[in-house]
Chains A and B, each alone.
Chain A
Amino acid sequence: MRPQAKRIHSLNAYHRKYSFWLALLMLASLLLAGCAPAAAPAPAGEATEDSAAAAPAEPTVQSEEMGTGSIVLNMWDGIGASDGEILTQLLNQCVEANPDITVKRQIMTWDVYFDKLAAAIVAGSGGPDLFILWHSVMPQYAKSGFLHPIGQIMFDEGMLPKDDYSPALLDALTIDGQIWTVPFDNYGVGVYVNLDLLEKAGIDPNQPPQNAEQWLEYARMLTLDKNGNHPNDAGFDPDNVEQWGWAVDWPRATVQPALFQWGGDIISRDDDPRALINSPESVAATQFFVDAIQKEHVAPKPAGANFNELFANNKIAMWPMGSWMYNFMNQQEGMHIAMWPYPPLGPERGATLMWSHTFGVAKSVEGEKLDAAKRIIKCLSDNSALWTEKAGMPTARLSLRAGLADKVWTLPVFDKQFQAEGVTEFASTRFSEIMGAVEPAWSAALNGDQPVQEALDQAAERINKALGR
Chain B
Amino acid sequence: MAVTRRRSRRVSFGKLAAYFLLSLLAFSILFPVVWIIAQSLMQEWQIYRWPITFLPTPPTLDNYRDLFLSRPDRPPLPILRWLLNSIFVASSVTVLVLTVAALAAYAFARFDFPGSNVLFLFFGASMLIPAQITFIPSFLIIRGLGWVDTYHALIWPPIAGFFGVFFLRQFFQTIPRDFEDAAIIDGCSRLGVFRHVIIPLSTSALVTLGIFTFLGSWNDFVWTLIVLNSNEMRTLTVGLTIFNGEYWSEQGIIMAGAVFTSLPVVILFLFLQKRISESMLLAGMGGR
Q: Are A and B in contact, CB atoms below 8 Å, in the complex?
A: yes
Write the residues of chain A forming the contact surface with B, with a CB cutoff of 8 angstroms. Answer: 4, 14-15, 18, 22, 25-26, 29, 32-36, 38-40, 42-44, 47-48, 50-51, 54-55, 57-64, 74, 80-82, 84-85, 88, 104, 106-109, 111-112, 115-116, 119-120, 122-127, 308-309, 312-313, 328, 331
Judging by beta carbons under 8 Å apart, are B191 and A34 in contact? Answer: yes
A58 to B186, CA, bound (A): 48
Instruction: Specify which chain A residues have a CB less than 8 angstroms from the CB of B25 in the assembled complex.
Output: none
Q: A51-B92, A62-B232 are in contact. List 4 more A-B contacts (CB 8 A).
A: A18-B88, A29-B195, A64-B231, A85-B74
Judging by beta carbons under 8 Å apart, are A51 and B88 in contact? Answer: yes
A26 to B84, CA, bound (A): 21
Cβ-based interface call for B39 (8 A): no
Cβ-based interface call for B259 (8 A): no
Cβ-based interface call for B56 (8 A): no
Instruction: Specify which chain B residues have a CB less than 8 angstroms from the CB of A15 in the assembled complex.
Output: 88
Judging by beta carbons under 8 Å apart, are A61 and B76 in contact? Answer: yes
Write the residues of chain B forming the contact surface with A, with a CB cutoff of 8 angstroms. Answer: 48, 50, 73-81, 84-85, 87-88, 91-92, 94-96, 98-99, 136, 139-140, 143, 148-152, 155, 183, 186-189, 191-192, 194-196, 199-200, 203, 206-207, 210, 225-227, 229-232, 242, 245-250
Judging by beta carbons under 8 Å apart, are A51 and B48 in contact? Answer: no
A50 to B195, CA, bound (A): 21
Contact of B245 among A112, A115, A124 (CB under 8 A): A112
Judging by beta carbons under 8 Å apart, are A47 and B91 in contact? Answer: yes
Contact of B246 among A26, A81, A120, A125 (CB under 8 A): A81
The 7 closest A-B pairs by CB, nearest first: A80-B246, A109-B245, A33-B195, A57-B84, A35-B192, A54-B88, A34-B189
A466 to B198, CA, bound (A): 57
The residue of chain B having its C-beta at the shortest distance from the C-beta of A333 within the complex is B45
Judging by beta carbons under 8 Å apart, are B200 and A39 in contact? Answer: yes
Contact of B48 among A39, A50, A112, A309 (CB under 8 A): A309
Judging by beta carbons under 8 Å apart, are A85 and B149 in contact? Answer: no
The residue of chain B having its C-beta at the shortest distance from the C-beta of A124 within the complex is B143
A74 to B96, CA, bound (A): 33
Contact of A33 among B73, B155, B194 (CB under 8 A): B194
Shortest Cβ distance from A49 into chain B, in angstroms? Answer: 9
Judging by beta carbons under 8 Å apart, are A47 and B249 in contact? Answer: no
With contacts A81-B247, A106-B229, A107-B246 taken as known, whether A42 is within 8 angstroms of B199 at the C-beta atoms is: yes
Contact of B81 among A29, A57, A123 (CB under 8 A): A57
Judging by beta carbons under 8 Å apart, are B249 and A35 in contact? Answer: no
Judging by beta carbons under 8 Å apart, are A22 and B186 in contact? Answer: no
The residue of chain B having its C-beta at the shortest distance from the C-beta of A332 within the complex is B45
Judging by beta carbons under 8 Å apart, are A59 and B196 in contact? Answer: no
- Between A and B, 6 residue pairs with Cβ closer than 8 Å are A25-B95, A25-B96, A48-B91, A59-B78, A60-B76, A122-B139
The residue of chain B having its C-beta at the shortest distance from the C-beta of A30 within the complex is B195
Shortest Cβ distance from A146 into chain B, in angstroms? Answer: 16
Judging by beta carbons under 8 Å apart, are A14 and B150 in contact? Answer: yes
A156 to B148, CA, bound (A): 36
With contacts A63-B77, A63-B231, A80-B247 taken as known, whether A35 is within 8 angstroms of B183 at the C-beta atoms is: yes
Contact of B200 among A29, A40, A122 (CB under 8 A): A40
Judging by beta carbons under 8 Å apart, are A119 and B92 in contact? Answer: no
Shortest Cβ distance from B119 into chain A, in angstroms? Answer: 22
Instruction: Specify which chain A residues have a CB less than 8 angstroms from the CB of B140 in the assembled complex.
Output: 122
A467 to B200, CA, bound (A): 62
Shortest Cβ distance from A261 into chain B, in angstroms? Answer: 30
The residue of chain B having its C-beta at the shortest distance from the C-beta of A119 within the complex is B226
Instruction: Specify which chain A residues have a CB less than 8 angstroms from the CB of B206 in the assembled complex.
Output: 43
Judging by beta carbons under 8 Å apart, are B229 and A126 in contact? Answer: yes
Judging by beta carbons under 8 Å apart, are B188 and A84 in contact? Answer: no
Judging by beta carbons under 8 Å apart, are A51 and B229 in contact? Answer: no
Instruction: Specify which chain B residues have a CB less than 8 angstroms from the CB of A81 in the assembled complex.
Output: 246-250
Shortest Cβ distance from B233 into chain A, in angstroms? Answer: 8
Judging by beta carbons under 8 Å apart, are B155 and A18 in contact? Answer: yes
With contacts A34-B189, A50-B87, A54-B87 taken as known, whether A43 is within 8 angstroms of B247 at the C-beta atoms is: no
Shortest Cβ distance from B266 into chain A, in angstroms? Answer: 17
Instruction: Specify which chain B residues have a CB less than 8 angstroms from the CB of A64 in the assembled complex.
Output: 75, 231
Instruction: Specify which chain B residues have a CB less than 8 angstroms from the CB of A38 in the assembled complex.
Output: 195-196
Instruction: Specify which chain B residues have a CB less than 8 angstroms from the CB of A309 in the assembled complex.
Output: 48
Judging by beta carbons under 8 Å apart, are A35 and B187 in contact? Answer: yes
Contact of A57 among B85, B94, B96, B196 (CB under 8 A): B85
Instruction: Specify which chain A residues have a CB less than 8 angstroms from the CB of B200 in the assembled complex.
Output: 39-40
With contacts A18-B88, A54-B84, A109-B245 taken as known, whether A35 is within 8 angstroms of B189 at the C-beta atoms is: yes
Instruction: Specify which chain B residues have a CB less than 8 angstroms from the CB of A22 in the assembled complex.
Output: 92, 95
